[in-house]
């Protein structure tokens, strides 16, 4: 009898644990049942949005709000990260409903037939600003100076009017969407990774390294900027929402949500919801993006800007 005691105890714990899990699940389904309950609604379905980690927080937050709306309570929105490439691949192969991307599909997918299948929905704008360590002693850089720094021609801050301090480049990996945006619109050219430069994929790490490393330079989305960094003006223009909207500050890109062909009803409702004023005026600005509706300029996949 006593020999069996540990076994019995273990079984008991298992049962208890399972019961605890079960009750939680029950509570969850009950809750959603209650809210779905009476009215038979028109829209239902599962939406899986995969891709860009830069866009993920917005889609997640919008998804939560969307599912809380009475009309859409039968729609299930799931959001996953994984990177722009993953998002475009999965939506193109039909594994995901929506592919989130920081760049135009044309820039990632070589196959033109596959690109033409995808439908672009631009939901927000992200602006990127060059930043440096506070002690570098520089506040303003021109396009040419940035090119020289990121291509390794200028290696000391004194050459651009700062302190006598070696420049440490904190870059993004060559496949990153943020880097593509920075290269396209701030530098106007692709740069190779120079020896000794640092590459980090997460904005948090870039911010930490630039803030702590003497002589560091990098670039970050506006939502990450704060007093720990020196935000550099680009060609004398400050990276502010107003300047981006007016088109005077050029380093910005759309956040895209791609669908394969035209979206189904539920997906369309979700995309419309993200573009609605409720999300654009609140969540989008809260999370540090810029609403597409405010943009006075437009840009196409080739980078041509129109008023």
Partner 1 sequence: MEQTEGGTVMNNKLKPRRPLREKHYWEEWTGRIYTSICVVFLIVVMFSIVYFVASKGLSTFFQDGVSMREFLTGKTWNPTGEPAAYGALPFITGSFITTLLAALIASPLSLCAALFMTEIVPGKGKKILQPAIELLSGIPSVVYGFIGLSVIVPLLRSMFGGAGVGIAAGCLVLSVMILPTVTSIMADALSALPKGLRESSYALGATRWQTIYRVIIPTVLPALLTGIVLGMARAFGEALAVQMVIGNAPHVPTSLLESASTLTSVITLSMGNTTMGSVHNNALWSMALVLLVMTFVFVILVRLLERRNRV
Positions in the binding site for partner 1 (CB under 8 A): 53, 81-86, 88-89, 92-93, 108-110, 166, 168, 173-177, 190, 192-201, 205, 208-209, 212-214, 216
Angle between helices 265-275 and 56-68 (to 10 degrees): 110
CB of 173 to partner 1, least distance (A): 4
Q: Which residues contact 71 (CB under 8 A, 6 or more apart)?
A: 41, 42, 43, 269
Segment holding 149, helix H or strand E: helix 143-150
Q: What share of the chain is helix, strand, coil (3-state, %, to 5)?
A: 45, 25, 35
CB of 250 to partner 1, least distance (A): 21
Q: Which is nearer to partner 1, 259 or 280 (CB)?
A: 259
Identify which of 13, 65, 58, 104 has the alpha carbon closest to the alpha carbon of residue 221: 58
Q: Which is nearer to partner 1, 123 or 168 (CB)?
A: 168
3-class secondary-structure state, position 216 = strand
Q: Which is nearer to partner 1, 91 or 239 (CB)?
A: 91
Q: Which is nearer to partner 1, 30 or 93 (CB)?
A: 93
CB of 165 to partner 1, least distance (A): 11
CB of 187 to partner 1, least distance (A): 14
Q: Which residues contact 276 (CB under 8 A, 6 or more apart)?
A: none
Q: Which is nearer to partner 1, 197 or 248 (CB)?
A: 197
Task: Look up residue 167 and give its two tokens.
Answer: 């420049």
Task: Look up residue 133 and give its two tokens.
Answer: 């360590």
CB of 133 to partner 1, least distance (A): 11
């Amino acid at each position: 009898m006593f020999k069996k005691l540990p076994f019995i105890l273990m079984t008991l714990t298992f049962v208890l644990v399972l019961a605890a899990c079960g009750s939680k699940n029950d509570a969850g389904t009950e809750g959603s049942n209650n809210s779905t309950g009476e009215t038979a609604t028109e829209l239902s379905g599962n939406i899986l949005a995969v891709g860009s980690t830069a866009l993920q927080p917005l889609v997640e937050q919008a998804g939560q709000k969307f599912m809380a709306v009475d009309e859409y309570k039968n729609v299930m929105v799931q959001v996953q990260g994984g990177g722009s490439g993953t998002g475009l691949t999965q939506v193109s192969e039909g594994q995901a409903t929506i592919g989130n991307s920081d760049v135009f599909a044309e820039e990632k997918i070589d196959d033109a037939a596959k690109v033409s299948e995808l439908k672009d929905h631009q939901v927000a704008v992200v602006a990127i600003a060059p930043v440096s360590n506070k002690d570098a002693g520089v506040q303003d850089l021109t396009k040419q100076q940035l090119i020289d720094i990121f291509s390794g021609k200028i290696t000391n801050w004194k050459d651009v009017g700062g302190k006598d301090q070696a420049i440490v480049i904190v870059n993004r990996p060559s496949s990153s969407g943020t880097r593509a945006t920075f290269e396209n619109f701030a530098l106007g050219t692709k740069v190779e990774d120079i020896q000794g430069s640092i590459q980090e994929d997460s904005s948090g790490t870039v911010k930490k390294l630039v803030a702590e490393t003497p002589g560091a330079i990098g670039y970050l989305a506006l939502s990450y900027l704060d007093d720990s960094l020196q935000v550099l003006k680009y060609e004398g223009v400050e990276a502010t929402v107003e300047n981006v909207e007016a088109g005077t500050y050029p380093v910005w890109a759309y956040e895209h949500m791609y669908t394969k062909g035209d979206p189904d009803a539920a997906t369309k409702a979700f995309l419309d919801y993200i573009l609605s004023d409720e999300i654009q005026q609140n969540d989008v600005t809260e999370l540090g993006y810029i609403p597409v509706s405010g943009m006075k300029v437009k840009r196409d996949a080739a980078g041509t800007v129109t008023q």
